[in-house]
Each structure stands twice: as C-alpha cells, then as structure tokens.
Structure 1
Amino acid sequence: MNIIWGGAGDPATNEAIAGFVAAHIDGCGRGFADFTTLGVTAEGRLVAGVVYHSYSPEAGVVELSAAATSKGWLTRPVLKAMFGYPFDEIGCQMAVLRVSEENAGMVSIARRFGFTRYRIPRLRGREEAEIIFTLTDNDWRAHPVNQR
C-alpha cells in the first residue's frame, strides 16, 4: 500500500480522493469544500481516502471523513500519516469524526484508536443518530501505535 497526498499542490488528485470518499459515504452527495486529502493505493488503484475538512485554525480542530474499499488499509505508516497531518503538520489539538451510529465498522475503528464518543440523537435525520468522535493530540500521542 502506498500513501498519496492531494491538496493545493495537486488539485486533480485532491478532487479524485475527495470524490472517492464522498461516493462511499451515505449522505455525502454534496462532497466537501476547502479540503486536503490523503489517499491509499494498492496495485495502482485508490482503495482508501481521508478528507480533512471544516478546519478551524483558531480552535485547532479539523474534521476527518474517510472511506475504504479494502480492509487492510489502516497500517501503521498510514495511521502515522493520517494523524500526523492534523497534529504535527497543521498543529491541531483535536480531530473530529462524524459517524452514523449504524456504521458499526467505523464506530469500532474509532474506539480502537482512542476517540471519545458523543451520541447525538436525530443529527442524521429524524430516525438516525450520529456519533461525534473526538481525538485530542495528547490521546493520539499516547496511543500504542506511537510507542514503538
């Protein structure tokens, strides 16, 4: 697996990764605005993407949206790059994920990586709650993936 970056330096790649992520997240048809992306490729194909959006430099907070078609994409190098960007490159103190409570796979992943969970009823509509997950830079740095 290889890591690729979008962003202002490569707008075509940035748009392609964001389009991939949006296409794989229910309710994300409008896509993203003002974003930077990380992609993961295998055998020359995009198999996962992360979109960094809703960045608030004043608060030091950025939101991440991610999608994948491969289960093996969350390797140690990908995790270090994925969280290195918000915490080390742009100096965020918190990363935020918004996940449908029905997305058991992503809920499980967020818990394993030390995110704190906040369930908000009806945030995805009358019949569906959303979970807001937060991860501070301190919690990320204390995670076992960073201890080797």
Structure 2
Amino acid sequence: MTLVWGGEHAPEINQAVASFVASQIPGCERGWENFTTLGLIDDERLVAGVVFHNYAPEAGVIELSSASICRRWLTRPMLKAMFGYPFDQIGCQMVVLRVSERNTCMIAIAERFGFKSYRIPRLRGRDEAEILFTLTDDDWRAHPVNRR
C-alpha cells in the first residue's frame, strides 16, 4: 500500500481523495473548503482517505474526516502520517472528529485510539446525534502505536 498526499502542490490528488471520502460519509456531499488530504492506494486503487479541514491555527486544532473501503487501512505508516501531519508538521495540540452515533465502526476505532467523546443530540438532524471526538497531542504520543 502506498500513501499519497494532496494539498496545494497536488490539487488533483487532493480533490480525488476528498471526493472519495465525501462519497463514503452520509451527509458530506458538500465536501470541504481549504483542506489537505492523505490517501492510501492499494493495487492502483484509492482505498482510504483522510481530509484535514477546519484548521484553527490560533487554537492549534484541526478536524479530520476519514473513510475506507479496506479493513487493513490503519497500518502503522498510515497512522504515523495521519497524526504526524497535525501534531508534528503543523503544530496542532488537538484533532477533532465528528462521527454519527450510528457509525459504530468509527466510534470503536476512535475509542481504541484514546479519543475522548462528547455526544451531542440532534447535531446531525432531528433524529441523529453526533459524537465529537477529541485527541490531544499528549494522548497521541502516549498511545502504544508510538512505542518501539
């Protein structure tokens, strides 16, 4: 599997990864503005992507949205890139995920990586709550994936 970066230097990749992620997440049809992406290619096919968006440099916070059609996407290199970008490259102190209460798979992944959760009723509409997950740089660095 190969990691590919989008962004200003690779706008075609940036848009392709963002479109892929948006197509996999119900309610994300509008996409994002001012974003950078990370994609995972397997056998010449895009199988996973991360969109980094809503960057607030003054607070050191960025939101990320991700999706995959491959269960093997959360490899050590992917995780190092996914969290290395906000924490090491652009100096964030926290990342935020917004997840539907119905997305039990993503909820389990976020919990496994040490995210703290905050359930907000009706944030996805009248009949659906959204869970805001936060992960600080300190919690990420203490995670077992970062130990040798």
Do the two structures share a fold, i.e. TM-score over 0.5?
Answer: yes
1:42 aligns with 42
Residues of 2 paired with 1:79 and 1:10: CA distance?
A: 21
Which residue matches 1:95?
A: 95
- Report sequence identity in percent: 68
Residue 31 of structure 1 is matched in structure 2 by: 31
Paired residue type of 1:146: N
Note the C-alpha offset of 1:30.
0.4
Q: Matched residues in 2 for 1:101 and 1:144: separation? A: 26
Structure 2 partner of 1:15: 15
SS in 2 for 1:59: coil
Q: Name 1:134's counterpart in structure 2.
A: 134
Shift of 1:70: 0.4
Letter in 2 for 1:115: F
- Deviation of 1:23 (Å): 0.5
Shift of 1:2: 0.8
- How much has 1:61 moved relative to structure 2? 0.2
What is the SS of the residue equivalent to 1:141?
helix
Unaligned runs of 5+ in 1: none
Structure 2: stretches of 5+ with no match in the other structure: none
After TM superposition, give the deviation of residue 134 of structure 1 in Å. 0.1
2-structure distance, mates of 1:87, 1:101: 26
Letter in 2 for 1:61: V
Report the counterpart of residue 3 of structure 2 in structure 1: 3
- 1:72 is displaced (CA, Å) by 0.3
How many residue pairs end up in the alignment? Answer: 148
Matches of 1:80 and 1:113, distance apart in 2: 12
Partner of 2:56: 56
Deviation at 1:111, TM superposition (A): 0.3
Which portions of structure 1, spanning 4 or more consecutive aligned residues, are displaced by more than 3 angstroms? none
Q: What SS does the corresponding residue of 2:53 show, helix, strand or coil?
A: strand
Specify the alignment match of 1:69 in structure 2.
69
TM-score, structure 2 length as denominator? 0.99
**Distance in 2 between the 1:101 and 1:41 partners?**
28
Which residue in 1 is equivalent to 2:144? 144
Residue 115 of structure 1 deviates from its aligned partner by 0.3
Other-structure match for 2:78: 78
RMSD, matched Cα: 0.4
**Per-residue deviation at 1:52?**
0.1
